[in-house]
Structure 1
Amino acid sequence: METRTIRRTSVTLPELDRPDLYLSHVTSLEGGRGRLEEFHYAGGDLRDLDLADTHLLDGRVTGLKARRVQLEKIRVDAVEFAGCDLSSLRWADSRVSRTVFRDCRLMGAALEGVTLDHVLFESCKIDYGTFTRVRAVGPVIFVNCSLREVTFTAADLGAALIDDCDLRLTAFEGGKYRGLDLRGNDLSQVRGLSSLRGIVIDHSQASQLTEALTAELDITFGEDLSNG
């Protein structure tokens, strides 16, 4: 079983190259009776992609570009998304497990009520996205991703790890983050520090959190005042 491990966090990856699995090329992600399995969807350039009440199982989605994406009540198991541009993604009330997003553009994506279990985001651009009531019920890894100005609201990311990511003006607004591993990142511009009780960092990052808190509280140092 293939895994991706960073420090203490291991994500089980989809096994799509095993000899007993043949991925059929498909021209749509809409399966019969709401289920699509053992598939490869490649190179689609769509204006709109709307999926609801669908189960995607054992498949690859590569090079998909869609200008507007609406996903609702979707179950995704053992799927790899690679080189996709889903910048207008709206994804709600769904469950994603053993899934990889690699080299994808998810700019401004809005996830709400999505449950994640063994999910890897690798080298993705997710700037300006919103994660609302997103729960990591199993391990989740963000590695080498851009999360600039992403907002996590009422999220549960205690089982997650964020490593070597751009966290400039990334905000945490309520939620549960105890155990979230933030080592390997520059935390000096993170916002919403009061929500981050119980996170895991390195000693060297403590000064970065101090810098972030100073900016967040708009603190003025007395020695910087003109009258002393």
Structure 2
Amino acid sequence: MKFRKIDERRSMRRPLFETDRLVPLEEAPDPDFELSERLVDGLEWKGGHGDGSLEQSLLRNVDLSETALSPFEIVDVTVERSVLANGRWERATARRLEITDSQLVGWQAQFSLAQDVYIADCRADFTGISIGTAKGPVVFERCRFTNATFLGDFSKVVFIDCTFPGADFSRVANAKGCDLRRSELSGITGLMSLRGALITADQAVDIAGELATAAGFKLA
């Protein structure tokens, strides 16, 4: 099992597959698919739809923009330099998933279950991230979430070096333990739904006015 270090105390499991066992997938899958041990490199499946599962696979330079997948199970998968913009993942189960250096603008991701999910270096403006149950770490690192929407269980989520101008957290149901200590919090709406999240004293000072307004105080 491979691990990614989150901080000095925590780590998460990484996708597990053997690269030399992967079989190239050269055309878009059927709407009802079960794929395992696949190398998907440069494939275009724009505007597609389907339901199924993808396991122990590597996706690289793939265009999944406007593609709707529901239900969808994705396990032990790495996605690199790909486009998921304006796509929809509904009733998705994700375990040991990594998405890096990808275009996520407008992506709507509804995770029924998320465990060991790592998303980094992505432009994620206007995304909608929903987590029904988080059983393991969910880490977002160096992502921009302009006007994004978050809802559900964020108790296992860690944000590292992320920004949230205009992002809406008002529908987060559980933020106890959500780690925001290494991100920029200015511009967030729905701050009161983040009760129990971890922030630093300096962050609390920076957003004091926004917190006061969210709590109902009138600044004069």
- Specify if TM > 0.5: yes
Taking the TM superposition and a 5 Å limit, the aligned residue runs for 1:23-172 are 23-28=22-27, 30=29, 34-52=33-51, 54-153=52-151, 155-172=152-169
* Partner in structure 1 of residue 3 of structure 2: 3
* Partner in structure 2 of residue 173 of structure 1: 170
Give the percent of matched residue pairs that are identical in Structure 1 and Structure 2: 23
Judged with a 3 Å threshold, the aligned counterparts in structure 2 of structure 1 residues 22 and 60 are, in CA distance, closer, same or farther, namely same
What TM-score results when the alignment is normalised by the length of structure 2? 0.89
Tell me the amino acid that sits aligned with residue 49 of structure 1. Answer: G
How many Å apart are 1:49 and its aligned residue? 2.1
How many Å apart are 1:219 and its aligned residue? 6.7
Structure 1: runs of 5+ lacking an equivalent: 223-228
Q: Is the 8 A contact 1:177 1:199 kept in 2?
A: yes
* Partner in structure 1 of residue 203 of structure 2: 205
How many Å apart are 1:208 and its aligned residue? 2.2
C-alpha separation between the residues in 2 aligned to 1:80 and 1:213?
A: 38
Tell me the amino acid that sits aligned with residue 21 of structure 2. Answer: Y
Q: Is the 8 A contact 1:91 1:114 kept in 2?
A: no
- The 10-residue stretch of structure 1 (136-145 or 211-220) with the greater mean CA deviation from structure 2: 211-220
Structure 2: runs of 5+ lacking an equivalent: none
Judged with a 3 Å threshold, the aligned counterparts in structure 2 of structure 1 residues 31 and 167 are, in CA distance, closer, same or farther, namely same
Tell which structure's C-alpha radius of gyration is larger.
1
* Partner in structure 2 of residue 225 of structure 1: none
Q: Is the 8 A contact 1:189 1:211 kept in 2?
A: no
| Partner SS state of residue 201, structure 1 | coil
How many Å apart are 1:37 and its aligned residue? 0.7
How many Å apart are 1:114 and its aligned residue? 3.2
How many Å apart are 1:82 and its aligned residue? 0.5
Q: Is the 8 A contact 2:28 2:44 kept in 1?
A: no
What is the aligned-residue RMSD (CA, Å)? 2.2
Judged with a 3 Å threshold, the aligned counterparts in structure 2 of structure 1 residues 91 and 146 are, in CA distance, closer, same or farther, namely same
